[in-house]
Structure 1
Amino acid sequence: MKNVAIIHEWLTTYAGSERVVEQMLREYPESDVFAVADILPENEREFLQGKTPNTTFIQKLPFLKKLLRHYLPLMPMAVEQWDLSGYDVILSSNHAVAKGVICGPDQLHVSYVHTPIRYAWDFQAQYLRESNLTWGIRSMLTRSILHYIRLWDKVSSSRVDAYVANSHFIARRIQKCYGRTAKVIHPPVDVDAFTPTYEKEDYYIAASRLVPYKRVDLIVEAFRKMPDRKLVVVGDGPMFKSLKANCPANVELLGYLKHDRMSKLMQGAKAFVFAAEEDFGITPVEAQACATPVIAYGRGGSLETVIDGVTGCFFAEQTPDSIVAAVETFERQHGHYDLSSIRRHAEGFRPERFRKELSDFIAAEWAKFDGHRRHQPHHQDPVADPQFADGPDQRPVVIGDPLGMTLS
């Protein structure tokens, strides 16, 4: 295995999937990076280790920062235009189109899947509802585009030789959408960036982007029903203004905070409350790195990052009442939690573990792939075969092939 190409979707901010690419680059420092578009701010480019990503024609389209996601219908064609013929291994970081690159038969393509493209598969109804696209001409157009994306996504899934999922939850989605099995390797979490604190204060914390599927609104409504308990919400996004306008007195919305201040709040919190159905969910692990228990919705990736009764507890439904019941259960039991055990659990998600598991998997897949490739029989060209020594005119003629060219 010599040359490695790392394929990412689009580079807009340093977030969860970019942290995965960062660790891929640390493991394969000589690799080249490809992305549909690159609009990363200068102060967030350090993880690229000085590399300039190879982009597509989408990079030159107008109003890129504002309209990038509107160019989604063009992205399947865009990723198919790269010439990757000089690489032995293609390593894609996929949540939309990255896995759809075109490779040759002598190239190994391993795809690390954060999720099959959500809004084209099982999250389509939710996406249309939250975007006010449930009826009308715009709805029909959007549904047609998503149908096209879904068909392409299924077809392009066969271009991958080996799948890696970031959770067992996503492995099941890969099986459902693509009919393929996947190795599970949990993503890296910078646990050491968070210092555990074993003296807790009397408040709860929620931290995430304020977008509908994170369901922070449900957490706020739950604490409205518990006026004697304090909630601190960290994060910004489209829902900030609406939440702020109807915020109860015991809930404090702080907006975006830098890492140092947010981590201090997370360290001091009695518990971290998490209501989203996430593919994996990095922030609950970060909370546990602070030795802070997690109260989480018991579906999706949270089931793989939180140990019920040991590092936190679950609620069964995405409703305020279910969250209230979980908080009340936690209040009765929180004295029994071993906070040092919570920190130790989080340490199992360190980046070093991710790099080793991923590199071991790729090395094993390459050994199988290369061995199979080397032992394939080489079929002889009919022109070079002695039985056709008189030249190409002696090739077998297929009925319906007037030019005398064999069809395959």
Structure 2
Amino acid sequence: MKVAIVHEWLTTYAGSEKVVEQMLEVYPEADVFVMVDFLPEKDRGFLKGRKVRTSFLQNMPFAKKKYRQYLPLMPLAIEQFDLSAYDLILSSSHAVAKGVITGPNQLHISYVHSPIRYAWDMQHQYLKESGLQRGLKGAFAKWMLSRIRMWDYRTANGVDYFIANSEFIASRIWKVYRRESSVIYPPVNVNAFAYREDKEDFYLTASRMVPYKKMDMIAEAFAGMPDKKLVVIGDGPDMEKVKAQAAKSPNIQVLGYQPDAVLIDHMQRAKAFVFAAEEDFGITPVEAQACGTPVIAYGRGGSLETVRGLGVPQPTGVFFEEQTPAQVIAAVSRFENEGGAIQAANCRKNAVRFSPESFRKKLQQHVDNKLHHNTRQAGSVQAVL
């Protein structure tokens, strides 16, 4: 059986690339197709020297830094891959990878991290943050996103089976494509986050400092709790907002970007990890729990599936219902009053559900079942003929 793995682009080694890594563990002979490949040499180990096929976008001007600006050409680029020689196509899709062209005798299973966020329910946020709400550029952006929505909906018909990375994304897939999907949670390298039972008297938040992560809002909340220490790890556009809060509040320590060893050390020692984003899945809350650290999280999106809130057996964290400083303050207060019900060992136990081993086992079982189903279905058709 010939297998192709299709991914949007290889530029960093992050969450979706770790899904591709585990797909290659299951299917080591698979060929990899991406629109552009600018992955640094230090991050290419999981490819094990295999050649990566790229699209014409690889050679476009300024593609290395500006590849996202070629979004209008991406549907065309992904459709140019000739996959006719492959029996099984696995696409890892958060934009256009699911749009590859396949035939009736091929099985296409798409692992969806999310339907194209900036073309569907997050369009208005994307236009606002990009300054594209008005003017000629804004009009072009809206027209272009409308065309991409039509293409995205049409190409869903070329997918035989969908896998969602969470129940939250499964609901998005149904909303956008009206297609059912199975849920297989993405792999989290929980073994890299060693368990530690004894904790110190500080809270931790860590993330890229982009608007939807609400890092400045977390800092503002802790500015209102001067007796509680917050350590902030990360960097990004909102760094100055976070630093402004820290300048007024000596209980907030901003460390900026830190290597993994420093991040893990703080996760192991923190009293709790604070997470305010609405994520499709959210890896960092799982990593914190792998360290035995409870999570105080915004109760929307993937966090509802990765964190067990107070009130259920073996809880691992506390939820807040709105992305406001007042709600974070209330959640921290509840954690300090009722957090004795949260055991470090249960946090670790919950995190292990998302291990790479679990991902590989579930993916292979899912693909084998669909291959068997398709073979049986083809046999039934032949018998009728």
Normalised to the residue count of structure 2, the TM-score between the two structures is 0.96
Aligned residue pairs total 379
Structure 1: 5+ residue runs without aligned partners? Answer: 381-408
The answer to whether the 8 A contact 1:4-1:31 is kept is: yes
Supply the distance in 2 between the matched residues of 1:121 and 1:138 (Cα, whole angstroms). 19
The answer to whether the 8 A contact 1:266-1:272 is kept is: yes
Q: Following superposition of structure 1 onto structure 2, how do residues 356-371 of structure 1 map, counting pairs within 5 Å?
A: 356-371=361-376
Supply the distance in 2 between the matched residues of 1:124 and 1:49 (Cα, whole angstroms). 37
Aligned residue number for residue 62 of structure 2: 63
Aligned residue number for residue 17 of structure 2: 18
Tell me the CA shift for residue 269 of structure 1. Answer: 0.3
Q: Following superposition of structure 1 onto structure 2, how do residues 219-298 of structure 1 map, counting pairs within 5 Å?
A: 219-247=218-246, 248-298=249-299
Tell me the CA shift for residue 379 of structure 1. Answer: 11
Tell me the CA shift for residue 55 of structure 1. Answer: 0.4
The answer to whether the 8 A contact 1:170-1:279 is kept is: yes
Does residue 320 of structure 1 match 2:319? no
Supply the distance in 1 between the matched residues of 2:130 and 2:78 (Cα, whole angstroms). 26
Aligned residue number for residue 134 of structure 1: 133
Structure 2: 5+ residue runs without aligned partners? Answer: none
Q: Following superposition of structure 1 onto structure 2, how do residues 88-127 of structure 1 map, counting pairs within 5 Å?
A: 88-127=87-126
Supply the distance in 2 between the matched residues of 1:27 and 1:328 (Cα, whole angstroms). 45
Quick one: which amino acid aligns to residue 346 of structure 1?
A
Aligned residue number for residue 170 of structure 1: 169
Per-residue CA distance 1:303-360 (angstroms, 9 max, x = gap):
0000002100100001111111101111112233211111111111111110010110
Aligned residue number for residue 83 of structure 1: 82
Question: SS at 2:115's partner residue?
Answer: coil
Supply the distance in 2 between the matched residues of 1:57 and 1:71 (Cα, whole angstroms). 11
Tell me the CA shift for residue 230 of structure 1. Answer: 1.1
The answer to whether the 8 A contact 1:8-1:94 is kept is: yes
The answer to whether the 8 A contact 1:206-1:233 is kept is: yes
Per-residue CA distance 1:20-61 (angstroms, 9 max, x = gap):
000000000000000010011111111112122100000001
Question: SS at 1:376's partner residue?
Answer: helix
The answer to whether the 8 A contact 1:224-1:250 is kept is: yes
Per-residue CA distance 1:214-237 (angstroms, 9 max, x = gap):
111111111111111111111122
Normalised to the residue count of structure 1, the TM-score between the two structures is 0.91
Supply the distance in 2 between the matched residues of 1:249 and 1:128 (Cα, whole angstroms). 36
The answer to whether the 8 A contact 2:275-2:296 is kept is: yes
Quick one: which amino acid aligns to residue 260 of structure 1?
A
The answer to whether the 8 A contact 1:233-1:255 is kept is: yes
Does residue 376 of structure 1 match 2:375? no
Aligned residue number for residue 406 of structure 1: none
Question: SS at 1:112's partner residue?
Answer: strand
The answer to whether the 8 A contact 2:110-2:161 is kept is: yes
Tell me the CA shift for residue 292 of structure 1. Answer: 0.3
Aligned residue number for residue 189 of structure 2: 190
